[in-house]
Structure 1
Amino acid sequence: MALAVSPAEPASHNHYDHGGQTSMRMNVFGSSGVRGVALDELTPADTVELAQAAGAVFRDRNARVAVGRDSRLTGELFVHAVASGLASVGCDVDCLGVVPTPSLQAYCEQAGVPGVMVTASHNPPEFNGIKLIGDNGVELTRDTLERVESHLEAESAMTTWDEAGEIRSTEGANSAYREQLLEAVDRDRIAGAELTVALDPGHGAGSLTSPGLFRELGCTVKTINAQPDGRFPGRDPEPVQENLAELGRLVESAGADIGIAHDGDADRAIFFDETGAFVDGDAALAALTAPELDAGDTVVSAVNASQRLVDVTTDADASLRLTPIGSTHLITAIRELQAAGETVSIAGEGNGGIIYPSYRVARDGAYTAARLCELIVETPLSELIAPYDGYANVRRNISYDTDEEREAMIDAISAVAEEADATVDTTDGYRLDYGDAWVLARPSGTEPVIRVYAEARSQERAETLVDQMAGAIS
């Protein structure tokens, strides 16, 4: 089985606990599932095999599995393949149709069944992929994913003809998800503010849930790209600033209090403030984190965590646990910390994927956006994020031609780390944290380059850190 996993590229964090995490990736499941170009890198035959392997693991606890998909053109094709694979190993299948990943997760939690989400999240239209969800509504941990992979390596154990699973269409998952969201946030507080929300679901699955949710929260909702369309004609599914210019203009023209954008499966949210200005994802994460923290709490983020988040956790006398990039690693760390009796108040990355463990150990773009709406009832978003502006980021790539050059560069980075008066984290490359700033050097997973990143309160400080590291390895 030759599945191509879409690479995730980092960038980097302080007052933290490494926790023994490893940066080694799983063979098939990347940091957020399996993804590839549909009908090329990811085929229906691949998907059947993967579903059979997952079904073999799921059947240890439950003989029913829920399957959902985002709005991609190949979604239905792959849902049929997944359902066939699951049914062939004896699992009954509930096909939910087009749903955001958080909607599938809510269904899994409520019904007590595991799930398979057919989505490539933020990847371009030609991609598709698979995420596996446990019967608690949470993405599977690394250990469980490795069990699924072990079944991929063995011969598929299909059941007999008379024990094959039943496949049925199931309606109502999205409406039940919206009702759950309405109960999970302060509906009266938001409604009382009479907010105007500009919303861009990007033609993804969130088109079916977020507009209705914010109207039911008492907001005036103005939308763009709010029709599910697997061609993604209005914009690319990745909610980054260069793809969201129209949303910024909509915020301005509508006099909106906030702009909200989702990725293809709506488990992430990116924002614009009331002036139509793009809000850096790291600033949004810091602003959402600050009111959640008590002394002694732990925040979980990836190795590319911003200095903004470091400062927020330090000011609250909380701790920051770093993991490799990707939701799978964050979720595994949250589970480990909770099992050890620690309070994880919030987790996430600067890409808009934020987790509130008290709600569900899962990223949920609509929930995150609603929680931010609670905060802007009294404080405009531009003022809310103002304390987290003024951070400078510098990045530089240093190329190499041979493996020998690469190893020599890594040795040089290690030597710098050993001599530095900084806290060193090796979760993914070498991150040197100086308290007021950090620098990260790591080999790219996709190109023959060493990536060097730094963040500080001043441009000069960030450039100095990059120059020092680059000078040592060039």
Structure 2
Amino acid sequence: MAPKFGTSGLRGLVVELTEELVRDYVTAFLCACPYGDAVHVGRDLRPSSPQIAEWVIAAVRDAGVDAVDCGVVPTPALALSSLEAGAGAVMVTGSHIPADRNGLKFYVPTGEISKEDEVRINAALGGALSGAPGALSTADAGAAYVARYTQAFGREALAGLRVGVYQHSSVARDIMVEVVEALGATALPIARSDTFIPVDTEALDPETKRLFAGWFADHRLDVLISTDGDADRPMVVDDAQQVVPGDVLGAVTARALGARVICTPVSSNTMIEAEGGFAFDAIHRTKIGSPFVIAAMEEALRDNPAARVAGYEANGGFLLGFNADAPAGKLAPLMTRDCLLPILAPLGAARAADKPLSALLDALPPRFTAADRIQGIESEISKTFIASLSSDAAARAAFFADTGDIAEVDETDGLRVTFATGDVVHLRPSGNAPEFRCYAEASTRETASALVESYLAKLGETLSA
């Protein structure tokens, strides 16, 4: 996979992320975007990340800019650190993709880069900056991130819960343990790995899911939590041993914090529009990707600076756009995908209501989502196939014939088809990996899962024919 620069920053095969390429993108970022007085640099636990982080720091300093080495740290913790310092940031991570790939995520002093910033960075490639070498310092970005949640939720927020922490190779594996214990829970660390494991919280493989039942029994768990590799996506398995979809965590978190305006991609669960359970003032649907969610949030805040706006993606990454009231204190805005808030807020809400998390979720409108992917399908092949279905109504009807009559087609991002039954199938090529994703929504969990399984099988047969 040749390195690509887009919604999730720069990503590519490690063997193609050369020092020259990394330095070029970092320098282009410095040429094209504001970065305050310094650039904070963090990294995940991939074997290639320490070397790439060294190249990033060297490029920053060679440009005459001070670098702050934050070491191994969650992406949202790095963003919080740089935001509070009024500085830029670069995170070395490939998120959930395999260890033979890696990448860079860029932040300006106000948060994630925008789509306009991406254009400017690409235009600045090949540029140069010079000056006296920048200084190098270190910072503990994780400490402030932990304090953000321990102070806001308080010592009793999760009192009495036995929380399994699936640690694998997440950069937040120790932070999760520290935070849930500070909030009164008993943390049970599970399956820590010295080898990088590409956990995709949107598409957990069956083998991983089978492990969960044993962990619940062995450790007498009330809930199991985890994140993806760089900790900007949550994973929660409730007391009924069901993986809670990220867009459900997002909706419950937004309600718990008193958000009134929601910005979320077209792929997110439609329960927030259903009667009962939610009463948001406005819901803005976007293309998939945090830059699009952030753009919608910023537009809402321009229209009303006091808007209680929040955003979330189907993967559960949560973005807070207002000063929110948490159980024990205030939460300042953090408009980047975060994993901890959509874990803690639903658990805290269930604990405050003195009910298990599954009971809290069972009271929501009955709309269920599922998602998975086919790997090894190049984006161009996927895009060509989507284009053919989008432009040819007869081909589209034939491909989806097993599910019934098509009531609505949405091409905001990929191809989202709503059937007369109310079921939904959404096909979308990944923008940063050779993957074809399928999302489904239905009135039962079983139907949603069956739709994903069926259409991924059909896609596999069609695209390999």
Higher-strand-fraction structure: 2
Q: How far apart are residue 79 of structure 1 and its match?
A: 0.7
Q: 1:330 matched to which residue of 2? A: 293
**1:114 aligns with one of 64, 84, 88:** 88
What TM-score, normalized by structure 2, do the two folds share?
A: 0.79
Which residue of structure 1 aligns with residue 127 of structure 2? Answer: 156
- State the match for 2:171 in structure 1: 205
Displacement of 1:337 after TM fit?
1.7
Equivalent-residue separation in structure 2 for 1:109 and 1:75 (angstroms): 23
Report Cα offsets for 1:333-371 as digits up to 9, x if no partner: 211221121735432122221223233112221222121
Equivalent position to 2:154, from 179, 187, 196 = 187
Q: 1:95 aligned to 46, 56, 69, which one?
A: 69
Task: Decide whether aligned partners of structure 1 residues 413 and 307 sit closer, same or farther in structure 2, where only a CA change above 3 A counts.
Answer: farther
- Please state how far the C-alpha of 1:394 moved relative to its aligned partner: 9.7
Map 1:384-463; keep pairs closer than 5 Å. 384-388=360-364, 391=368, 409-413=389-393, 425-431=410-416, 437=422, 439=424, 444=429, 455-457=441-443
**1:138-174 CA distance string (max 9 Å, x none):** 211112222222211xx322314xx222233x14221
- Please, which of 122, 142, 146 is the counterpart of residue 119 of structure 2? 146
* Cα distance in 1, alignment partners of residues 37 and 94 from structure 2: 26
After superposition, the Cα gap between the structure-2 partners of 1:374 and 1:323, relative to the gap in structure 1 and judged at 3 Å, is: same
Query: 2: distance between equivalents of 1:426 and 1:280?
Result: 23
**Residue 379 in 1 paired to residue 355 in 2?**
yes
Kept in 2, the 8 Å contact 1:205–1:265? The answer is yes
Matched residue type, 2:204:
Q
Q: CA shift at 1:320, angstroms? A: 2.3
* Structure 1: distance between partners of 2:381 and 2:15: 33
**Contact persistence 1:334–1:344 (CA under 8 A):** no
| CA separation of 1:257 and 1:314: change in aligned 2, threshold 3 A | closer
- Does 2:45 correspond to 1:71? yes
1:263 corresponds to: 228
Instruction: Provide the rounded CA distance (Å) in 1 between the counterparts of 2:413 and 2:150.
Output: 38
Structure 1: any 5+ residue segments left out of the alignment?
A: 6-27
Shift, 1:381, TM fit? 0.9
Q: What is residue 325 of structure 2 aligned with on the other side?
A: none
Counterpart of 1:165 in structure 2 is 134
Equivalences for 1:40-59 in 2 at 5 Å? 40=16, 42-58=17-33
Structure 2 residue aligned with 1:250: 215
Q: Match for residue 13 of structure 1? A: none
Shift of 1:438: 5.5
Moved more, 174-183 or 65-74: 174-183
Q: Which residue of 2 aligns with 1:316?
A: 279
The residue identity in structure 2 corresponding to 1:173 is A
Which position in structure 2 is the counterpart of 1:352? 316
Do the aligned residues in 2 keep the contact of 1:431 with 1:438 (CA within 8 Å)?
Answer: no
- Check whether the contact 1:248–1:278 (CA below 8 A) recurs between aligned residues: no
Q: What's the CA shift for 1:391?
A: 3.4
SS at match of 2:25: helix
- Deviation, 1:198, is 0.7
Greater relative contact order (Cα < 8 A, sep 6+): 1
Between the aligned residues of both structures, percent identity stands at 25
Q: Which amino acid aligns with 1:218?
A: G
For 2:209 and 2:440, how far apart are their aligned partners in 1? 26
Deviation at 1:202, TM superposition (A): 2.1
Q: Distance in 2 between matches of 1:361 and 1:38?
A: 29
In structure 1, the partner of 2:337 is 363
Distance (Å, rounded) in 2 between the aligned partners of 1:402 and 1:327: 22
Structure 1 match to 2:183:
217
Please name the residue that 1:237 is paired with.
199
Are positions 1:4 and 2:3 aligned together? yes
Contact 2:249 2:343 in 1 (8 A): no
User: Whole-Å Cα distance in 2 between the matches of residues 277 and 271 of structure 1?
Assistant: 8
Are residue 81 (structure 1) and residue 63 (structure 2) matched? no
- Aligned equivalent of 2:145, options 177, 184, 188: 177
Instruction: Evaluate the alpha carbon distance shift between residue 75 and residue 440 of structure 1 in structure 2; reply closer, same or farther with a 3 A threshold.
Output: same
2:408–2:419 CA contact under 8 A, matched in 1: yes
CA distance, structure 2, for counterparts of residue 422 and residue 330 of structure 1:
26
- Does structure 2 conserve the Cα–Cα contact (< 8 Å) formed by 1:293 and 1:345? no
Moved more, 352-361 or 436-445: 436-445
Question: Does the Cα contact within 8 Å between 2:45 and 2:169 map onto a contact in 1?
Answer: yes
* 2:55 match: secondary structure: helix
Offset from partner CA, 1:156-208 (integer Å, 9 cap, x none): 22314xx222233x14221222112212x3214415x3222111132221123
Amino acid at match of 1:330: V
Instruction: Give the residue type in structure 1 aligned to 2:113.
Output: L
Q: CA deviation at 1:329?
A: 1.8
1:392 Cα shift?
6.9
TM-score normalised by the chain length of structure 1? 0.77
Q: Is the 8 A contact 2:44 2:229 kept in 1?
A: yes
